[in-house]
Chains A and B, each alone.
Chain A
Amino acid sequence: MQQNTNVHHAFASYFAKDDLYPFLYQLSRKMAEGNVCLYVNEVAEEDGPALPDPEILNRHELVGNPEALRPFILFEDRLYLHRFFHYERKFVAQVNALLHREQTYYQSRHDFLVQQEELIVSQLFPESKGSTPDWQLIACLNSFLNQFSIISGGPGTGKTTTVVKLLALFLLEQPDAKIKICAPTGKAKVRLEEGLRKAKRTFQHTSIPEHIADTIATLQAATIHSLLGYIPGSIHFKHHALHTLEADILIVDESSMVDMALFHKLMQAVDTNRTRVILLGDKHQLASVDAGSVFRDLCSEEEYINHFDPERAALLNQFVIDPTRQLDAAYQSENSSYPLFQHIVELQHSYRFDDQKGIGKLSKAVLHYDEMAIRDFAETPAAEVGIYPASTLQDWLQEFAALLKKEQGGYIGQRDITTALERITGSTILCAVKEGRTGVAALNEQVTRLLFHPDEVFYEERLIMVLQNQPQEGIYNGDMGIVRKDNAEKNELKVFFPQSDTGYESLSPAQILSCDSAYAMTIHKSQGSEFDSVLIVLPEQTDHQLLTRELLYTAITRARKRVIIVGDIDIVLAASAHTVRRISGIQQQFAAV
């Protein structure tokens, strides 16, 4: 009777007990790891049954070609669930429809830009120094021309600034344009709004009319879920192909965190005859937890990024006065068959970090696996940026725990709740794993003991993170709050959460369905947030599956001022060397059209 409770086994054996079994086992496993499908020619996997000859897939009754109504679909040596194959296919079809639509608008947009040359050149993008093209300018103009664009860039490269300027151009062109902006999480949404609020300053010395600046500064962002209209208990949304979003412009921030299913639903709700879509993100960052790394897949053809055909390059160069900053031959290619050619711009210059030192240098070194540079950070670590051996963990924990106190700029002891809430992004501890000595649970426990001696689960000054979306209470997975006594109400403990409009809101601990302490969090959970100081604690084994370049890069780029990595140098190097490409068929789908 003994049942194998391995879920991949259970999944595979539910459908098949024959030669298809190993394929379904590996498909289930691959999907759990974030892939959309299984590459059937893959060499033997370390876990689970080895794949037999894929020939069986061609004649199995459960597997079909892209047009078949079968639970599993085989496409270009990739085995999918019918559902995910069609998600991907429909997504690509929508992008293609947008690209196709571009022809219609191209001339009028071209003319409009030329007409606005004065404003663009001297006011929006006044000449600044640099030896490389001004990618912000290129991204802005290029996206204006396109119906579908991608702007990728690391922290501090000016994605939001570019978008703000782009929006101004849109509104000049179409004053009543409907703009929808969204992000995958509540936190990312709030940060996006904060960025937009600065629009007024951006346009201070320009001829952009005040009402346009006002409109941009007061734009309300939404989470993708609320934009699409969440239906409780359903996987569908109120907006879909038959009830599309009312939008002329749709901007999606932190796109790297969006999985295939959600991206599909978002794109389905786009009216391709009307809406311009702009995806913002950082292609180097961690992909979503769920299946699919759509943003990264779209950006995967490196040679087409920041490349344009001569005609487009000539048009863009028209707006660049300094000849050394123009798009020269190195950035030009003949018209490519790749559909996303000249639709992706990567912002390469960080205005926040210097590539040559500190956080900027470290993150670059990790991205390019620059072993020498990484070793430098370990051999001569600085107090601001450095890699320290695992043995120093306790000292760093104490230091970072102390950073939470008011005297050191933290929230503990800061009487005014609004200020206290602002200070919770002062510092944090990021972990790669949840369990074990270097996991979130253990470190949270240690910091709790260093700072408090709580008798109860909820105690004053506890910093918590919400683990479950509760739209009715207005709190979302990943939101952070402080536990304090509410003087107005009989000294009962309340949890205070920051809110962009009113400063804060409070809930009774009982109203929060699921939460944890937030002195330490996983790197995954930290996506979409930034902190002044970040302590990154790495696990002790080098062969940790989770430990990838993307993870380390994401962790480092959460820091604004200071980043300390605690982990032996071999671990850091191993992580930086280990990059995982998720399997999908997006490129093949584009090619198939």
Chain B
Amino acid sequence: MSLEIYISNHIRSLSTAMIADMQRHKLGVFQPYGLITQTVGMNNWLVVNMAQQMGIAANLKFMKPADLLWEIYGMLGGQSYYKINRQNIDWLIYAVLGSTDFQRRFPRQAAYYIEEGTEQELKKWEFAARIADLFDQYQIYRNRLIERWNRYSWEELDADMQWQAYIWQSIKGRSREAFPDVTDIYHYVLEQLKDPNQQERIREAMPVLYLFGLSILTPFHLHVFYELSRVIDFRCYLVNPAPDHYWFEDEQEEQIFLKQFKGKNVAHLTVGNPLLTSWGKILQNTYRLLFQADEFINAVNELPGEVPASQTLLQQIQHDIYHNKIEDIHFSKEQLYDKSITITAHYSIPREVEVLYNYLLHAIQEQTYEGITERDIVVMVSDINAYAPYIRAVMDNAPYKFSYSIIDESIAQGDSIISALMALLSVNEQHITAELILELLESQYIRQRFGIYKMDYLRSMIEQVNIRFGLENDYKDPVDDTYLVSWKYGLQQLMYGACFDGPQWYTAGHMVYTADVADNIEDLHQLTALSNFIHALEDMIRQRKAPKSLSEWKDYIDEVILTFMLSEEEDKDEDYWELLTRFRQSEIIDTYLEDTKISYEVFSKRLLKALGSEQQQLNFINRGITFCSPLPFRSIPFKVIAMLGLNFDSFPRKEAYVDFDLMAQKPMLGDRNVRNNDKHLFLESLLSAEQALYLSYTGRSIKDNKPLPPSVLIDELLDYIQSGCRKEGVSARDVLVQQHPLHSFSKRYNQPDSNLIPNYTIHKPETFPHVTVDAAQEGHVPEAIWNLNALSRFLTRPVQYYYQKVLGVYFNEEAAHIDDHEYFSLDSLKRWTVRNALIEGALQDDVPERIKALYYNGDLPLRNMAETFIAEQNQVIKPIHEQYRKLVADTAIAPVLLEYQYGDITFEGSLELAGDMLVTYVLKPADKAWAGKIRTSLQYLLGVACGVVKEAYLVTQDKLLKAASLTPAEAKMRLNALLDFYKEHHHTMIMFHIDIYDAKTTIDNYLGKIEDAINREVCYDEYVQHAFEYIDREQQQALFSGFKDLIEQYILPVFEYGKTT
């Protein structure tokens, strides 16, 4: 039985050698090959290689280093089903921390969380979680320490570790034999391995064990390996980027710094290539550990090295590293421009993804890197959960579609049972807003369970009845009337509203003004389903108020799932079973928790954190381009390797230590170090990229445009390249780093002289085909009836008229976000509604009723705000109303439909008349009431032309305007002139909006005024904004000249000579 270690710079040579060895071993058909690797990606890659080399890849048993011991333990007859790990001891620790014994003995530690209250409970759990994490690591990295803890009473140990040892011993005491710790298992295994029968048992089960590509090894693991190798064949295949050189004994950085500080010459202290030694710390540690023992040194076999080529910049660097080059670093100018290394800087994540897309498409299209396919590309992103939505957005909407897969995403992402559960558990009673409910209903599971399918309808209903926040608010004891914006009141408005014909006052425990918005059973059932969902939510929140034991919480979660996502009868999918297995353990642990009751806050925080950190199980190299998070030891060869999110503050990540971490206090070789892991990953990526390396980062602040530095690793790489091209006199940064513009549609793209990656996601804007061209008239069937309202709109908002009536284009308002607070001010539409109700109310003498209805319908702000607002409005309205009243006196107002024959066409309009008098009002001062003047004039002309109207008044805020008297003949002449113009131009776009009009508007200045209004964002007609870019100015001026004459000659004079008061 033997130990053999093979080392090569190239992972391909290693895999070839290993597979050849496997072939030599020729195990029986049912005997699996044991393989220890670090990642699933590596496994997949090995399977592919094996299939190629052996013709078949079957019967492989992949293990992670941590699983090996557990596996052997099982083979040797170990009895326990569970072991101590982070997930199942944190509750035990939590219980220990809560015990009075601990608090009495270690008041200093307990002081952190000892007081009453939810916050303290949470702190206690956080504390327990940290300790659990440490205990997890101690078992691997400090097994000696754990051994001592297991052997001696805590009182006999060093003072600074007594409290931790106490906790450890308490949880061991509680769980007894049920959970062996790693050292227990380790000792069990070592003991059993001495027994020849057991040795035979192992040999039969696993005659040979391979360890492939690992870069991190701990003394603990090495020891296990060594012991095993005495029983079975043990083969290690390890990577060394510079196998021909000894570069492991590098000085510690601090020592170098110290020597520099003392003015010493330190050049000779670096034993290797700067990139290799800076990024290869992990490898250095591993090899130093390995070579501490003679058995390992003797077992080393060097495989023949694969010398990298040195043509491109990337290859040259790989070549330098292989040769551990310290001096004579040189890059040619051609290499700098050969695109084998591309670095791009951006403003934001979406831009990073867009440019990556363009880079890949360009590379494939131009065959920059020979024939690469989607499977030859891997993209690592620093935070996969943050990038995934953008990756989908860009890749799914791009002009050319790549196939791709995103792995390592958190299970909380996407529409799954787990994500829905997490959303439900995060619901905070204090904050049940309209948007929150709508967000929860985004989950298809919840929607299906409750039979909800008309989301747009429900959103608009919620908006209509003004539901903002709170289940009930102060319903029981009215204080500030916020119950009016609560779910309970809003749903009453809707549910009773569906029952009643027309809005009604109805007392349902409380006065409700019902909403008249649903008149079919389908909609009523949608509202019912919504109300049912809210009710279930209320119940869910109520039930979580009492603290529960762990298994009671498990039942609670079961209930939540069955209530909100799956019915009991339904077939459960994988997600569900996965969740259940996750909880099965809680029941076992619960038995050791005695009667510890856990509050919902602590339980849910723990659960959400656990669920949030879980990753989706998807295969690496699944299909197409692989997007993944940067896991070290995943760097198997790809033709193109891209890394995104290499920002200064996010990569390499920093290690965070707690002050009671016994490992940090006395570091040892082989300790975990996140920062070095990331550096190692970067080195691996650089070395395993076969054709190209693409790096990108956020290089400028989107807020203030300040430059932001890249990851220090990019800087080191650039410094290195710079050091090799001094002779060329070029700046490596200028050549290699591209700063991309803020927007994808920037003009800097796709210019002939641009050095930016071309942009495939934008099209050149096409000319706007429909402006002012009368093409629409072709094939158009003339309408037989023209309407006064349409004409009025044509004259006041011709652009909107053109878009809607001619092009049939409506700019709909996007479903707006519903605020999570009550109204404090009203938007213009609501304000108009209120004012209109006040005027109408004043005319009908029912103002209080109307205000009450508005208030209970959620159309007014609450309480005093409403009173103030109405008082303000009344000031405006009162004079208008009085004036109106004076004019109309006791005459009844009646609607009259008038028809005027214009050639073949009937021109119709509806007028509200008091006898033969037309009285209209407008809530604007006389010199701004242009739209009102136009509309009233049209009505007046029609009324006089039809012989129905004798006089007309327009009541404005400050003046009463009386229309000039006209004979029917005069009125007809004017009306005909207007209709002539309308006939000729109603399919033409005239760039105008009544809001920009005043007496000083001229043909020369009006376009400038519109432009100015758009620029100052005071022109809120989006039609004008949209069309303005595309107009032909001269043509518009010609059109406008006729338009202006028309208004000024035929319409405005109607009121110009009128009496004003």
Contacts and interface: CB of A to CB of B under 8 A. Distances in A.
Interface of A: 1-3, 5, 7, 10-11, 14-15, 28, 31-32, 69, 71-72, 81-83, 85-87, 233-236, 242-243, 246, 259, 261, 290-291, 472-474, 501-502
A474 B539 contact: no
Nearest to A33: B521
Given A10-B529, A14-B531, A235-B516, A1 B539 contact: yes
Contact of B521 (A3, A235, A291): A291
Interface stretch (B254-262, B492-500, B603-611, B669-677): B492-500
B765 interface: no
A291 B451 CA distance: 19
A371 B116 CA distance: 82
Interface string B960-976: 00000000000000000
A71 B506 contact: yes
Contacts of B460: 233
A83 B563 contact: no
B524 interface: yes
A474 B521 contact: no
* Interface pairs A-B: 9 shortest CB-CB: A71-B499, A10-B532, A3-B536, A86-B501, A83-B501, A31-B521, A11-B528, A235-B519, A261-B519
Nearest to A233: B460
A7 B519 contact: no
Contacts of A259: 520
Interface in B220-244: none
Contact of A28 (B501, B525, B539, B895): B525
Contacts of A234: 517
A243 B524 CA distance: 27
Given A1-B559, A28-B525, A261 B520 contact: yes
B525 A11 contact: yes
A246 B897 contact: yes
29 contacts: A1-B536, A1-B540, A3-B535, A3-B536, A5-B449, A7-B528, A10-B528, A10-B529, A10-B531, A14-B495, A14-B535, A28-B521, A28-B525, A31-B521, A72-B499, A81-B498, A82-B499, A82-B501, A83-B499, A83-B500, A83-B519, A233-B460, A234-B517, A235-B516, A243-B895, A290-B520, A290-B521, A472-B808, A472-B810
Contact of A474 (B495, B520, B536, B808): B808
A223 to B, nearest CB: 17
Contacts of B531: 10, 14
B519 A501 contact: no
Contacts of B516: 235-236
Interface of B: 449-451, 460, 495-496, 498-501, 504, 506, 516-522, 524-525, 528-529, 531-532, 535-536, 539-540, 543, 559-560, 562-564, 567, 779, 781, 808, 810, 895, 897, 910
Dominant SS among interface residues on chain A: loop
A261 B522 CA distance: 12
Nearest to A474: B808
Given A10-B529, A82-B500, A83-B500, A3 B563 contact: yes
A473 B808 contact: yes
A32 B519 contact: no
A506 to B, nearest CB: 14
- Which of B451, B499, B781 has the largest number of chain A CB atoms within 10 A? B499
Contacts of B560: 1
A476 to B, nearest CB: 15
B808 A87 contact: no
Given A82-B501, A235-B516, A261-B519, A5 B532 contact: yes
A473 B496 CA distance: 35
Nearest to A27: B521
A211 B501 CA distance: 45
Contacts of B499: 71-72, 81-83
Contacts of A473: 808
Contacts of B519: 83, 87, 235, 261
Given A5-B567, A83-B499, A474-B808, A291 B535 contact: no
A317 to B, nearest CB: 40
Given A2-B559, A86-B501, 9 more contacts: A10-B532, A11-B525, A14-B495, A14-B535, A69-B500, A71-B499, A235-B516, A290-B521, A290-B522
Contacts of A246: 897
B841 to A, nearest CB: 17
A473 B812 CA distance: 13
A438 B1026 CA distance: 50
A82 B499 CA distance: 6
Contact of B518 (A7, A72, A235): A235
Nearest to A80: B499
Nearest to B784: A220
Nearest to B908: A246
A237 to B, nearest CB: 11
B506 A69 contact: yes
A567 B197 CA distance: 72
B770 to A, nearest CB: 15
Given A14-B528, A71-B499, A32 B543 contact: no
Contacts of A1: 536, 539-540, 543, 559-560, 563
Contacts of A87: 501, 519
A82 B559 CA distance: 37
Nearest to A86: B501
Given A69-B506, A261-B519, A83 B808 contact: no
A234 B517 CA distance: 7
A291 B449 CA distance: 25
A291 B520 contact: yes
Contacts of A81: 498-499
